[in-house]
């Protein structure tokens, strides 16, 4: 009896100790992440005023804003999405509708999942070799690098969402005499629309904060430029340059830019989440 009580007590203690450790780990981890957001907000909010959205990036020591990098980020992200969207949706369609469990589809799925978390700096090198070397840095190259990062995200979500559509729906349409492309475009796409939009939003969120692939494709630009054949500023690249500098006003702008990007990414993620839950599961 005494043996079993002492063993029982030990088991309880082990349990209590390890569960406390888990709570401590959770609290510590969440606090650390909370601190990051809090400091980002504190440092960033001070730098945000109307000038940030209306003036160009300044030389060291004088006032200015982030208008040209904001334009550059929006432009390059936009072009990237326009390129990546059809490619990603079509490839996802192939995997979900035609390929399914065929060996080719399994391999493509695996490679796509690997590319999903492949180092973005390598994508930058790839586009540099492809579009910049021997020519010059350009916004087109930056947009292409971002597109390559966006495609796997869209492929993955499109496939996942199409696979959620029950097959009887497709069979019913086929039984009515609809050809395959009709079944896909009029039935499957319609039913999976919210999910596919979610994927695109997530892809935008992912690429809008990407820095490494832009550093040697679009480079950066101190001035206002809308020429896609020339180097173009982007928020992440400007943050990289300004944060690494020794000038106070540049550092402040870097924080403001960081806050803008984080806010944009969080909003996109939250909207994507709402989109997915708004549509009832079928």
Is residue 126 at the binding interface for another protein, with CB under 8 A as the rule? yes
Tell me: does residue 82 bind another protein (CB under 8 A). no
Task: Assess 105 for contact with another protein (CB under 8 A).
Answer: yes
* Contact flag: residue 223 with another protein (CB under 8 A): no
223-260 in b/e form (b: 16+ CB < 10 A) is eebeebebbbbbbbbbbbbbeeeeeebbbbbbbbbbbb
Q: Is 74 in the site for another protein (CB under 8 A)?
A: no
**Contact range with another protein by CB under 8 A, out of 50-58, 73-81, 191-199, 260-268:** 260-268
Answer for which of 46, 60, 166, 244 binds another protein (CB under 8 A) is: 244
Contact with another protein (CB under 8 A) among 33, 82, 164, 176: 33
Examine residue 97 and tell whether it contacts another protein (CB under 8 A): yes
Residue selected from 187, 196, 232, 239 as contacting another protein according to rule CB under 8 A: 239
Q: Give the footprint of another protein on residues 131-160 (CB under 8 A).
A: 133, 148, 151-152, 155
Residue 5 as a binder of another protein (CB under 8 A): the answer is no
**Interface of this chain with another protein, residues 173 to 202, rule: CB under 8 A:** 179-182, 184, 202
- For another protein, which stretch binds (CB under 8 A), given 28-36, 48-56, 72-80, 222-230? 28-36
Q: Which of 6, 9, 19, 229 binds another protein (CB under 8 A)?
A: 19
Query: In the bound complex, what is the minimum distance in angstroms from residue 193's beta carbon to another protein?
Result: 17
Residue 253 found at the interface with another protein (CB under 8 A): no
- For another protein, give the closer residue by CB, 56 or 243: 243
């Amino acid at each position: 009896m005494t043996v079993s009580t002492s063993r029982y007590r030990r088991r309880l203690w082990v349990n209590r100790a390890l569960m406390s450790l888990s709570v401590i780990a959770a609290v510590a981890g969440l606090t650390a992440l909370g601190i990051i957001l809090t400091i980002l907000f504190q440092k960033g909010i001070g730098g945000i005023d109307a000038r940030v959205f209306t003036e160009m990036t300044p030389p060291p020591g004088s006032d200015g804003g982030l208008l040209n990098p904001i334009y550059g980020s929006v432009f390059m992200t936009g072009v990237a999405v326009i390129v990546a969207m059809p490619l990603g949706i079509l490839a996802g369609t192939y995997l979900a509708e035609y390929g399914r469990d065929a060996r080719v589809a399994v391999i493509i799925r695996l490679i796509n999942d690997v590319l999903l978390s492949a180092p973005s700096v390598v994508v930058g090198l790839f586009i540099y070799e492809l579009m910049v070397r021997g020519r010059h840095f350009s916004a087109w190259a930056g947009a292409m690098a971002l597109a390559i990062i966006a495609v796997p995200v869209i492929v993955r979500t499109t496939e996942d969402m199409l696979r959620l559509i029950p097959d009887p729906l497709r069979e019913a349409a086929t039984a009515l005499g609809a050809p395959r492309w009709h079944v896909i475009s009029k039935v499957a796409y319609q039913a999976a629309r919210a999910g596919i939009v979610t994927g695109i939003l997530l892809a935008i969120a992912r690429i809008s904060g990407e820095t490494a692939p832009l550093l040697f494709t679009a480079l950066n630009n101190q001035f206002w430029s809308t020429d896609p054949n020339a180097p173009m500023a982007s928020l992440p690249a400007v943050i990289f340059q300004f944060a690494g500098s020794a000038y106070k006003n540049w550092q402040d702008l870097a924080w403001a830019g960081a806050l803008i990007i984080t806010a944009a990414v969080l909003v996109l993620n939250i909207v994507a989440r709402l989109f997915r839950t708004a549509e009832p599961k079928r």
